[in-house]
């Protein structure tokens, strides 16, 4: 298969590798893992891309594949690693409660991390602005109405996190 | 639609994006355009969204990642000299395998009693299992309200764990989860409670376990077994079944019969 050497494969990489990397990073919070996930996603595309029924959906396919690879990795790691409750607790406390006026990506990711996964993933895709609503619903394999409802509830919770972080110092 | 309804919907609005597939958003947006208070609120929301988007989009992408991706894809390519063999040339390699299978089939036909071969697992059998399990699984192996924790618990038992629970039951409260098996196939059981404290169990197994997965219902459908009801449907690669301790009466609050 020569698709990866072709201009279209290069174009696909150019168009989406940054968005995919940022999505991967927001999921795993680790540069090396995010690089591996992004690279793995394109490698799978290079091997199986010819069998995608609708080439117009390559972008959704890439995000879906990356998300599945992440879930697979997450499951594998959580099967093999012994989870020390104290370490887990420490990790949770490490995520700072951010102030919305001084936003940078670690603070925003810290706030997103405090959300449940069902809200965090659609909201991250929403804020990345790489995918349309329909594409988000395809990646998450859920109806668009559910996506909208998760976005609405997730954003309410996210705003509450910011609000709480600004109220805490005044207490 | 009142102003609060519109706000709840517009929270999901992204500036410059009005999907045709979700008419309520268009309706709420039209309402906001004619209401100055809503317009001002929406502007503030858009500023908040822009700040978050800009922060997420500022995640630095490592230099060299693009080349790394292209190199990895290049090396994943099959060697050029491995050309496909013509079908006729491939055929002679398959002949010994075909002959072995034929002998195996004849031997099994002659020496095995067909009556001892277990029937193929079917949907009715699975429904019986769900109804019976509903009586036998008392309490959860793990009590928790956290979906992530329960998912990890089920993963540790090698039970099927979709990344999210079906939207149909999103308003029910999680109580716990158990892992069980049907004909040696792993089944996850999520225990839930509704607002009336009725216990509802969601059984999840792989559709691949069934002989005709394509014939499984794709929309929630009621099934009656021995005066008890359950709801069953296929969602992607998983078969979902809902059962309740009261024989299915509580389920009608969530699904129309």
Q: How many CB pairs under 8 A join A and B?
A: 143
- The more confidently predicted of residues B96 and A93 is B96
Q: Which helix (H) or strand (E) holds B132?
A: helix B123-136
Range of the domain at B236: 123-254
The CATH code that applies to domain A2-166 is: 1.20.140.160
Question: For residue range A52-87, what is the model confidence (pLDDT) as tens digits?
Answer: 767 778 899 899 999 988 988 887 776 544 333 333
pLDDT computed for residue B89 by the predictor: 53
ipTM of this complex: 0.80
Q: B243 φ, ψ to 5°?
A: -135, 155
Closest-CA distance, B208 to chain A, in angstroms, reads 18
Q: What does each of the 171 residues of chain A score in pLDDT, given as a tens digit?
A: 444 445 588 999 999 999 999 999 999 989 999 999 999 999 988 887 776 767 778 899 899 999 988 988 887 776 544 333 333 333 333 334 445 556 778 888 888 989 988 899 999 999 999 899 989 998 888 888 899 999 999 999 999 988 877 644 333
Q: What is the mean pLDDT of residues B97-124?
A: 65
Q: Do residue B74 and residue A5 have CB atoms under 8 angstroms apart? A: yes
Q: Do residue B14 and residue A129 have CB atoms under 8 angstroms apart? A: yes
Q: Do residue B65 and residue A35 have CB atoms under 8 angstroms apart? A: yes
Question: For residue range B204-238, what is the model confidence (pLDDT) as tens digits?
Answer: 998 887 888 888 888 888 888 777 888 999 988 89
pLDDT computed for residue A102 by the predictor: 60
pLDDT computed for residue B77 by the predictor: 60
Query: B225 forms bridges with which residues in the sheet?
Result: B228
Q: Does B241 lie in the same domain as B128?
A: yes
Confirm or reject contact between B15 and chain A (CB < 8 A). Answer: no
Closest-CA distance, B119 to chain A, in angstroms, reads 33
Model confidence band, residue B118 (pLDDT cutoffs 50, 70, 90) = very low
Count of other CB atoms within 10 angstroms of residue B101:
10
Chain B residue with minimum CA distance to A133: B19
Q: B71 φ, ψ to 5°?
A: -65, -40
* Tally of domains within chain B: 3
Quote the longest CA-to-CA distance of chain B. 84
Q: Does B201 lie in the same domain as B95?
A: no
What is the sign, positive or negative, of the torsion defined by CA atoms of B191, B197, B199, B205? Answer: negative
pLDDT computed for residue A8 by the predictor: 84
Measure the CA–CA gap between A71 and A66, rounded to whole angstroms: 9
Measure the CA–CA gap between A93 and B172, rounded to whole angstroms: 29
Q: Which helix (H) or strand (E) holds B241?
A: strand B238-244
Q: A114 φ, ψ to 5°?
A: -80, -10
Considering B117, B132, B149, which residue would you say is the last residue of a domain?
Answer: B117
Q: Does B212 lie in the same domain as B144?
A: yes
Q: Do residue A38 and residue B77 have CB atoms under 8 angstroms apart? A: no
Closest-CA distance, A170 to chain B, in angstroms, reads 22
**pTM confidence score:** 0.54
Q: Does B163 lie in the same domain as B54?
A: no
Of A78, A100, A128, the CB nearest to B155: A78
Mutation site for B-interface testing, chosen from A35, A36, A115 by largest number of B Cβ within 10 Å: A35
Determine which of B77-91, B164-178, B196-210 has the lowest per-residue pLDDT on average. Answer: B77-91
Q: Do residue B9 and residue A148 have CB atoms under 8 angstroms apart? A: yes
Measuring CA to CA, which residue among A35, A12, A10 is closest to residue A23?
Answer: A35
Q: What is the mean pLDDT of residues B157-166?
A: 84
- The more confidently predicted of residues B96 and B256 is B96
For residue B115, pLDDT over 80 is answered with no
pLDDT computed for residue B88 by the predictor: 53
Measuring CA to CA, which residue among A156, A102, A121, A157 is closest to residue A27?
Answer: A121
Determine which of B88-92, B144-148, B234-238, B240-244 has the lowest per-residue pLDDT on average. Answer: B88-92
Closest-CA distance, B170 to chain A, in angstroms, reads 10
Chain B residue with minimum CA distance to A22: B59
Q: Do residue B69 and residue A39 have CB atoms under 8 angstroms apart? A: yes
Of A43, A103, A134, the CB nearest to B19: A134
Q: Does B157 lie in the same domain as B82?
A: no
Q: Provide DSSP, A94-153.
A: HS----TTS--HHHHHHHHHTS-HHHHHHHHHHHHTSS-HHHHHHHHTS-HHHHHHHHHH
Question: For residue range B54-73, what is the model confidence (pLDDT) as tens digits?
Answer: 999 999 999 999 999 999 88
Measure the CA–CA gap between A81 and A123, rounded to whole angstroms: 28
What residue segments make up the domains of chain A, in order of their start? 2-166
Closest-CA distance, B135 to chain A, in angstroms, reads 31
Q: Does B184 lie in the same domain as B158?
A: yes
The radius of gyration computed from the CA coordinates of chain B, to the nearest angstrom, equals 27
Note the Cα B37 to chain centre separation in Å.
Answer: 41
Let me know: does B66 contact A10? Beta carbons within 8 Å.
no
From chain A, pick out residues whose CB is under 8 angstroms from the CB of B48.
100, 159
Q: Does B214 lie in the same domain as B111?
A: no
Q: Does B139 lie in the same domain as B104?
A: no
- Residue B249 is classified by DSSP as T
Q: Does B161 lie in the same domain as B104?
A: no
Measure the CA–CA gap between B240 and B237, rounded to whole angstroms: 10
Q: What's the order of all strands across the beta sheet hosting B228-235?
A: B142-143, B173-182, B185-193, B199-206, B238-244, B228-235, B221-225
From chain A, pick out residues whose CB is under 8 angstroms from the CB of B54.
103
């Amino acid at each position: 298969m020569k698709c990866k050497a072709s201009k279209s494969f290069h174009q696909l990489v150019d168009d989406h590798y940054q968005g995919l990397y940022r999505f991967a990073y927001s999921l795993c919070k680790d540069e090396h893992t995010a690089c591996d996930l992004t690279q793995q996603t394109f490698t799978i595309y290079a091997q199986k891309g010819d069998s995608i029924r609708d080439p117009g959906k390559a972008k959704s396919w890439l995000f879906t594949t990356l998300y599945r690879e992440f879930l697979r990795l997450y499951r594998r790691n959580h099967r093999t690693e012994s989870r020390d409750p104290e370490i887990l607790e420490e990790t949770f406390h490490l995520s700072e409660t951010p102030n919305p006026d001084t936003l940078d990506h670690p603070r925003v990711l810290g706030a997103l991390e405090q959300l449940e996964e069902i809200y965090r993933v659609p909201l991250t895709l929403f804020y990345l602005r790489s995918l349309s609503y329909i594409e988000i619903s395809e990646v998450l394999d859920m109806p668009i109405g559910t996506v909208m409802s998760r976005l609405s509830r997730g954003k309410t919770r996210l705003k509450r996190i910011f609000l709480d972080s600004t109220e805490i110092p005044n207490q | 639609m009142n102003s609060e309804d519109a706000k709840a919907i517009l929270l999901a609005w992204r500036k410059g994006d009005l999907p045709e597939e979700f008419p309520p958003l268009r309706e709420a947006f039209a309402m906001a355009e004619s209401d100055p208070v809503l317009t001002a609120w929406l502007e503030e929301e858009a500023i908040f969204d822009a700040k978050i988007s800009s922060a997420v989009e500022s995640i630095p992408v490592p230099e060299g990642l693009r080349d790394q991706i292209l190199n990895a894809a290049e090396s994943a390519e099959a060697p050029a000299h491995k050309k496909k063999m013509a079908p006729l040339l491939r055929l002679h390699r398959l002949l010994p395998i075909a002959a072995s299978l034929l002998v195996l089939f004849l031997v099994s036909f002659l020496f095995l009693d067909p009556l001892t071969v277990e029937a193929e697992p079917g949907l009715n059998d699975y429904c019986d299992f769900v109804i019976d399990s509903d009586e036998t699984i008392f309490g959860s192996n793990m009590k928790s309200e956290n979906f992530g924790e329960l998912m990890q618990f089920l993963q540790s038992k090698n039970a099927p764990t979709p990344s999210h629970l079906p939207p149909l039951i999103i308003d029910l409260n999680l109580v716990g989860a158990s892992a069980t098996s049907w004909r040696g196939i792993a089944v996850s059981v999520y225990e839930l409670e509704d607002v009336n404290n009725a216990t509802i169990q969601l059984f999840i197994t792989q559709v691949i376990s069934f002989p005709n997965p394509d014939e499984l219902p794709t929309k929630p459908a009621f099934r009656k077994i021995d005066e008890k009801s359950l709801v069953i449907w296929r969602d992607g690669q998983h078969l979902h079944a809902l059962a309740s301790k009261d024989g299915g009466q509580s389920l009608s609050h969530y699904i129309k019969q």
